[in-house]
Chains A and B, each alone.
Chain A
């Protein structure tokens, strides 16, 4: 996902807006591009927020479909990734709020139901894949142990690729606080992973 400049207010994201419009017109290339660009994001948000197993596939699929159906309402005021990130967080919260989920393990980061390793690239040697998968798993567990709101800020910044301004708006906290939380989150991760 490419990093776009900070929107800084009402800046229009033409590329994202064009993609949204083409998707709405039934352009299959645009639809594939939409799924490829945002499928991983939504799938990862579900995983990082503690939805596991078949539920993760179902919820991520439903969120991406909801986002696709909502594309005609996208006005280009923020990046599409930010828009989808915010939508995903709301849907994940709905998922945990629903009464059917109350009697099962929460799966929120920090408990033992945190998601398994991601799919690995076939271009790497098998032993390299194992090492990378282990490192990734270690890192994800470390993120899962971060306290709130540091975890939300870290995930929004690194996974959602949101800017400090966008996180500030989404989480309703001053930009200075976002930076402090981000810094603290990074320090905690480094301590957990024993990085100097």
Chain B
């Protein structure tokens, strides 16, 4: 690697990450730095600027501002129409699958059995993700045991 190529890669993400201790410099750049004082100085200057500017340009808003944003976010409707349609689709699909399963496994053919199976499938589709989440939450403390 020559000096021109070295300086061309000075702003690459892997070089930037290495400067923050989040990875290693590409081997060819590390090797070049060992033999070129000018490029080594350029790397260290770029690293110092990155650490300084990234921190110094970032302002922290007040806790009141943060609280107000969170309050307004809580008032935003949870799902869009497309997501609601997707949920209805899922309920219908799982309901139909449950009806088919009850037919095959139990041989039920009454309307009441169809309706019950349909709603059972739909409920499973709705509650499934929530149950999975609670199951994960329950399992979390067990990992420490």
In the assembled complex, which residues on chain A have CB atoms less than 8 Å from the CB atom of B37? none
In the assembled complex, which residues on chain A have CB atoms less than 8 Å from the CB atom of B8? 179
Q: Which partner residue on chain A sits nearest B65 by CB separation?
A: A57
Cβ B66 vs Cβ A155 within 8 A: no
Cβ A65 vs Cβ B73 within 8 A: yes
In the assembled complex, which residues on chain A have CB atoms less than 8 Å from the CB atom of B14? 5-6
In the assembled complex, which residues on chain B have CB atoms less than 8 Å from the CB atom of A31? 70, 73-74
In the assembled complex, which residues on chain A have CB atoms less than 8 Å from the CB atom of B76? 65, 68-69
- Give the CA-CA distance A72 to B17 in the complex, in Å: 29
A44 at the interface (CB under 8 A from B): yes
Contact with B along A21-44 (1 / 0, CB 8 A): 000111010011011100111011
Q: Of A6, A182, A190, which is within 8 A of B13 by CB?
A: A6
Cβ B78 vs Cβ A60 within 8 A: no
- Give the CA-CA distance A175 to B144 in the complex, in Å: 49
Cβ A64 vs Cβ B69 within 8 A: yes
In the assembled complex, which residues on chain A have CB atoms less than 8 Å from the CB atom of B65? 39, 43, 57, 60-61
Cβ B73 vs Cβ A155 within 8 A: no
In the assembled complex, which residues on chain B have CB atoms less than 8 Å from the CB atom of A36? 66
Q: Of B16, B46, B83, which is within 8 A of A3 by CB?
A: B16
Contact with A along B55-74 (1 / 0, CB 8 A): 01111111001101110111
Quick one: given A6-B12, A35-B69, are A25 and B78 in contact (CB under 8 Å)? Answer: yes
In the assembled complex, which residues on chain A have CB atoms less than 8 Å from the CB atom of B16? 3
Cβ A39 vs Cβ B66 within 8 A: yes
Cβ B11 vs Cβ A139 within 8 A: no
A115 at the interface (CB under 8 A from B): yes
Distance of B129 from chain A, by nearest CB (Å): 8
Q: Of B11, B52, B80, which is within 8 A of A182 by CB?
A: B11
Cβ B83 vs Cβ A43 within 8 A: no
Q: Of A24, A35, A118, A186, which is within 8 A of B66 by CB?
A: A35
In the assembled complex, which residues on chain A have CB atoms less than 8 Å from the CB atom of B20? 3
A135 at the interface (CB under 8 A from B): yes
Q: Of B10, B70, B80, which is within 8 A of A35 by CB?
A: B70
Quick one: given A43-B65, A57-B65, A179-B11, are A68 and B57 in contact (CB under 8 Å)? Answer: no
- Give the CA-CA distance A36 to B61 in the complex, in Å: 10
Cβ B17 vs Cβ A3 within 8 A: yes
B22 at the interface (CB under 8 A from A): yes
Q: Of A28, A60, A154, A155, which is within 8 A of B61 by CB?
A: A60
Cβ B61 vs Cβ A40 within 8 A: yes
Cβ A24 vs Cβ B60 within 8 A: no
Footprint of B on A, CB under 8 Å? 2-6, 24-26, 28, 31-32, 34-36, 39-41, 43-44, 47-48, 57, 60-61, 64-65, 68-69, 72, 115, 118-119, 135-136, 139-140, 143, 154-155, 157-159, 161, 163-164, 178-179, 182, 186, 189-190
